[in-house]
Amino acid sequence: MSITILTAYDERPDGAGELVYRAGGTDLQERLRTTGATPHVLDLTGVRGFATVERTDAATTLGAGVTVATIARDLAADYPALALTAAGLATPQVRAAATIGGNLLQRTRCWYFRHPHTSCFKSGGEGCPARDGRHLYGVVFDTAPCVHPHPSSLAMALMTYAATIDTTQRDGLGVGDVLGDGSDPSRDHLLADDEVLTRVTLPPPAAGERAAYFRSISRFEAEWPLVEAVVRVVRDDAGTVTSCGVAIGGVAPVPLRLSAVEELLTGTSLDDDTVSAAAVEATRGARPLPETGYKVQLVEATVREVLERVRS
């Protein structure tokens, strides 16, 4: 396998074929190994400001190359929902290399897509072999042609902060603008081939914010989530929720922000009845596949878990 590595300041060779971007490389290297692809790889790690965190009174801006480990360590006090989610990902080794930009734009983990001898929408083919094949880890909200969940946990957490994303071509995008809704099954995100994610901007920290994150997995640790959920709440002195954000992942073509659950929680004290009702509400609209019916109960249980943790 012959792969050409370029830096951001190199001139692209004449007649160069496929060009892919590399930040931490934790997903890219695995895909190149399994598929045997030999593209020109543009290494972004040397770009000025690529891995910086900038704080002002108005916002916190993360360069696309800020690592998951940095987020987990340095943002815990101000953005606990994002930091807890980052801390729950993968292994310490992966978190030290993986970046926020790479996590947002990573490719699907579906085993049909990653198998060199199968074809699907996302690999340039027609159809979704997982729909009629094995889809044990697939969606429970079946809303798009591809039935494997989007893998970005950080996207889920960023939704609860209404974070914005800048690229080399556009500014102020929401997470939904970048990831889409899954209706185009050939895409994991909606950036153009020559468009690079440059930074993520968070609003000012909310005083007194509490947060919780939980992932339901099939082994003790270092596993992709079957279902994951994150919640952030701000309460007044009487313990009443004045604002909140709730999102789930591992269940749909894109992470889902649960606005109906947020409305149900706002103005309450997170009592037992409210938590139970919110957990049930999180499953509204579920349309499981033949092998993913178990995820309906997991959604309810996982959302209940984060709500009970955040009020403790």
Q: What mean pLDDT comes out for the span 23-40?
A: 68
Q: What mean pLDDT comes out for the span 55-75?
A: 97
pLDDT digits (tens, 9 = 90+) for 216-259: 998 766 688 999 999 999 999 999 999 999 999 999 999 999 99
The CA R_g of the chain, rounded to the nearest whole Å, is 20
> Rounded distance, CA 113 to CA 100, Å?
23
Could you tell me which residues are beta bridge partners of residue 6?
42
In degrees and rounded to multiples of 5, residue 159 shows phi and psi of: -60, -40
pLDDT digits (tens, 9 = 90+) for 181-194: 999 999 999 999 88
Predicted confidence at residue 219, as pLDDT, reads 76
Q: Is 19 helix (H, G, I), strand (E, B) or coil?
A: strand
pLDDT digits (tens, 9 = 90+) for 113-169: 999 899 999 999 999 999 999 999 999 999 999 999 999 999 999 999 999 999 999
pLDDT digits (tens, 9 = 90+) for 153-181: 999 999 999 999 999 999 999 999 999 99
> Rounded distance, CA 143 to CA 147, Å?
8
Structure tokens at 226: 């079957």
In what side-by-side order are the strands of the sheet with 210-216?
210-216, 227-235, 241-249, 256-257
> Nearest to residue 148, comparing CAs of 191, 173, 194, 115?
115
pLDDT band at 6 (very low <50, low <70, confident <90, very high): very low
Predicted confidence at residue 9, as pLDDT, reads 46
Q: What mean pLDDT comes out for the span 32-51?
A: 73
Q: Cα 194 to the chain's mean position, in Å? A: 21
* Single-letter amino acid, residue 177: D
- On the question of pLDDT at 1 being above 50, the answer is no
Could you tell me which residues are beta bridge partners of residue 157?
none
Of 41-50, 269-278, 301-310, the least confident: 41-50
Q: What is the mean pLDDT of the chain?
A: 91
Task: Tell me the H-state helices in the chain.
Answer: 28-35, 68-74, 80-87, 92-97, 100-105, 129-132, 153-160, 175-179, 259-265, 272-281, 294-311
Every domain of the chain and the residues it spans: 1-48, 210-311
> Rounded distance, CA 25 to CA 121, Å?
23
- Provide the percentage of residues in the chain whose pLDDT is more than 70: 89
Give the number of other CB atoms < 10 A from CB of residue 256: 24
Q: Cα angle vertex 6, ends 2, 10, to 5°?
A: 140
The domain 210-311 belongs to what CATH superfamily? Answer: CO dehydrogenase flavoprotein, C-terminal domain (3.30.390.50)
Q: What mean pLDDT comes out for the span 26-32?
A: 71
Q: What mean pLDDT comes out for the span 266-289?
A: 98
Contact 63, 50 (CB under 8 A): yes
Predicted confidence at residue 193, as pLDDT, reads 86
pLDDT band at 44 (very low <50, low <70, confident <90, very high): confident
Predicted confidence at residue 120, as pLDDT, reads 97
Predicted confidence at residue 171, as pLDDT, reads 98
Could you tell me which residues are beta bridge partners of residue 150?
none
- On the question of pLDDT at 312 being above 90, the answer is no
pLDDT band at 3 (very low <50, low <70, confident <90, very high): very low
Predicted confidence at residue 47, as pLDDT, reads 80
Contact 81, 160 (CB under 8 A): yes
- On the question of pLDDT at 2 being above 70, the answer is no
- On the question of pLDDT at 38 being above 50, the answer is yes
Residue 99 DSSP class: B
Q: What DSSP string runs through 247-297?
A: EEESSSSS-EE-HHHHHHHTTS---HHHHHHHHHHTTTT-B--TT-THHHH
